[in-house]
Amino acid sequence: MPDPIEQLTSALADHYRIEREVGQGGMATVYLAQDLKHNRQVAVKVLRPDLAATLGPDRFLREIEIAAQLHHPHIMPLYDSGEADGFLYYVMPYEQGQSLRERLTRQGELPIAEVVRLLEHVVDALAHAHEYGVVHRDIKPENIMLSGQHAIVTDFGVAKAVSEATGRQQLTTAGVALGTPSYMAPEQASADPNIDQRADIYAIGIVAYELLTGQPPFTGNTAQAVLAAHLTQKPEPVSTHRDTVPPALEALVMRCLEKKAADRWQSANELGAQLRALGATSSVGITPTAGVEPVKRWSPVAKVGIVVAALVVLAGAYGTMQFGKVGRAGTLIGRDLLAKDDLILVAEFEDRTDDATLGQTITDAVRVELQQSPVVEVLSQAGMWDGMRRMGLDIGTALPDSQVRELAERENAKAYVAGEVSQLGAGYQITARVIATADGTEALTVRVTAANDDELIGALEELGLQLRRDIGESLRSVRSAPPLSQVTTSSLPALRALMAGSRAERGGDRPRAITLIEEALRLDSTFATAWRSLAVMHVNSNRYREATDAIARAYVFRDRLPERERLGVTSMYHSLRSEYDLAEVAERQLIDLEPDDPFGYVGLSNVLLKVHRWPEAEAAALEGVEKDSSEQIAYWNAVEAQIAQGRFDAADSTLALMAPYFPDGAWHREMVQSNLLAQRDLEALRLFHDSLGAEGILQQDVQAQFSQCLSFFYRGRLTEARQCSTLFPFPQMLFPRLRYLSDTTGVLRGIELGRTAMVEGQDTEAVAFFVALLAEMGQTSEAQALLDEWRDLVGADDPVFLVYHNYAEGAIALADGDFDSAAQAFLAFNRSGYPTSLHLFNRGFSEAANAMDRAGRPDSAIALYERALAQPSIYAGNYEVRWYPFALRRLGELYEARGDRDQAVDYYQRFIDLWRDADAELQPQVDDARQRLVGLVGERG
């Protein structure tokens, strides 16, 4: 009898490496495995063999596919499912946190506020699934994972898939009940065939009961006894076991547990609204919500005591508010000078000390402190500087009050914080003033002192907390906030270095920025914000190995960060590891946290672009535009998603919407050119460049000149292309130029540039292209040596190498005549994920087509060439000019050989139109195509 694990390992060996068994449930055994394609840990859940034999694969897989479509922050995504050697399996992320069952086992009943919060998450997940017709049918603590402060429901749709595949609610022949007896609704227990979403509502009631009391409402020695109790017994009130549960919450839970489905909450949306209302009250539902009749359980004596206590508390609170000015009555919100969620900005503090960097450091620290407040929104440093640029002001400088007020008005900030830092002996005095934008009145002044540098962080912390209290944040909230030294660093020199590095990056000096942030990390290696900043800068420099390492360090210390920054780190960490489903969860949580912040929508659109969910990416990006019409990345992502769908007119509309918000026009021009290149509308692109030249813009816009240079390559105007290709600042940009160079010296010079970039860790994807050039020249041993050198230098698991080595290996195989291997490598290059923002990148198909063509397989070649032509690419020119003209001509030849004259005529004509004005050295190819065209038209005539 073969070992099941060995058999499973063998069956899944092409996709997953099974490491060990980690658990068993009623329907499946769970294995920890390594996803070989994406290099990540996953949970492979394998249905019990007897259950799998009863089901059969077809209907099970058809039904479970529905669950795979669910995308929600509180739903564990389904990566994969299938059948292998008789095993039915499905694959989910391997969540290293604890399950709700483990939490209950360790702790017993949970705090009431936490119960409400967790129930909100689970019910929100159910509401999303129910909209798609998916009923979970097995909600229980084992199927709810805890990730930080969040609940994530797992195994969604699996029980439904099993029941639908068999056509019954209970598989007695397989010995498995679909659902768990302690959490089964009466209709499940009685095998009613008409199960709907209200069965999940009942299960939520059971889970809530257990979270509040430490035990489910029905227990028994056998499963049959428990099922009978669900059908016949009324559960004891929650208060029987825990009398501190608020009446409204108890009533909510007991209504979930009604025997008749018609007497329960009728939908997860309805239940969710009740939970949110409970969660919004500080006492978790002392006042009943509409539709929830509280359970009457207080004795007359207790009622009298409660009333007396409440009067004492109210009287004390009123006296404190009136005479002590504590609470919101004495705050900016209490005085109606600000409202909750109003936007404020923090202006540059005036520096009156001998230290030129201290004012900037204090400005950033105050901004960080205020960004933790839940009662106001704070304009980010990036937003502040973008606004200053639009006003024509120098960034990072202290402004006179009149300009700060104008900036606040432009950014729709209701108030702004201005201040100064002065020398006070060996220490400092820091003053912050909150000023109303509308009339310029000073609404609040806070002043603190620090005896020396060592006390400065503590003084800044005191300043920030006092501002938050006096603006209107509750004392409890302020006290619960992590100290500034934890959110940032306890090292003032490290904080200064980070702030200086951030400013250097915004000023365009990235090498200095990286040096400064590395200095901050030498001073404090636990500085999570600095690790994240370093990761972002490495990504922007195309140094993905370094970025991945840096964000991993930030992820280790993420709990030190405010929730917004923690979620940002979490998203970037998973995204760089190609764990896009988990990155999406973090981005959606960020949106839930700050629904009016455009950056959450931009981040979500980035993730959705990476997994080619174009319509959703477009919607998220446009939501970011709606939140902030000056957010340029939101426009870019929306246009990219529209291009990917072939909706070029929609992209034009988005570009028209964008234009007024960017007076200098550089970003707008770049995106217009990208849209035209994606359509390969070279005539429109020529007219656009002509108009820029007539206005004197082309001569100043390097990006436009680069785009024009690419259009020359497209059209075969090599003399002009070679002259302007000195504009190409990066080694990989030489690639299209070198495609047309016949001299070995020029190619080898480019290869040395690529090797230099590789050693310096920048633009290492260029190495793959230069490997390909060596192979094309017949120097396959030199090509292999360069590829090996690259692998040895960066490591086989380097994020860029993992993608681009496929291209290099394909080129070498092609040069060696191994056409099948070449095609497979090029197609693997096409399928590979990519760690950067290159979401829409047409690659691999044309090279695979060439390999199939040379292998004598014209049908495959035609299909692959046409796939390449059909795919729009926002990064088309720099890569595509190598193959696009040749693909048109070759398709004409292939269709001519097949005898399809109409198709051949079409492709020959497109090639001739493209190279009509090509240089003389290319005209023989145009003449040949023209002669073929004439012959075909005559035949067709």
Query: Catalytic residues, which ones?
Result: 138
Q: How far apart are CA 188 and CA 83, in angstroms?
A: 28
Token reading at 263: 């007497």
- Residue 144, SS3 per DSSP: strand
CB-based burial label for 848 (10 Å; 0-12, 13-18, 19+): buried
Q: How would you list the strands of the sheet with 28-35, edge to edge?
A: 16-24, 28-35, 40-47, 87-93, 80-84
Cα-flanking dihedrals φ and ψ of residue 24, to 5°?
-135, 140
Short-list 536, 604, 590, 526, CA closest to 559: 526
The 10 Å Cβ neighbour count of residue 919 is: 17
Q: How far apart are CA 285 and CA 279, in angstroms?
A: 7
CB-based burial label for 616 (10 Å; 0-12, 13-18, 19+): middle
> Are the C-beta atoms of 734 and 725 separated by less than 8 Å?
yes
Bridge partners of 31, per DSSP, are 21, 44
Q: Is the dihedral of CA 396, 398, 403, 405 positive or negative?
A: positive
Q: Could you tell me the CA-to-CA distances from 677 to 716, 746, 866 in Å, in that order?
A: 15, 27, 17
How does strand 376-378 pair with strand 342-346? parallel
Q: What share of the chain is helix, strand, coil (3-state, %, to 5)?
A: 60, 10, 30
Short-list 643, 661, 662, CA closest to 652: 643
How does strand 150-153 pair with strand 170-171? unpaired
DSSP conformation letters of 408-457: HHHTT-SEEEEEEEEEETTEEEEEEEEEETTT--EEEEEEEEESSGGGHH
Half-sphere exposure in the Cβ direction for 116 (13 Å, CA): 21
Cα-flanking dihedrals φ and ψ of residue 342, to 5°?
-65, 150
Q: How far apart are CA 388 and CA 398, in angstroms?
A: 11
Q: How far apart are CA 676 and CA 671, in angstroms?
A: 9
Token reading at 809: 């290996």
Short-list 8, 272, 221, 320, CA closest to 118: 272
The 10 Å Cβ neighbour count of residue 327 is: 17
- Residue 56, SS3 per DSSP: coil
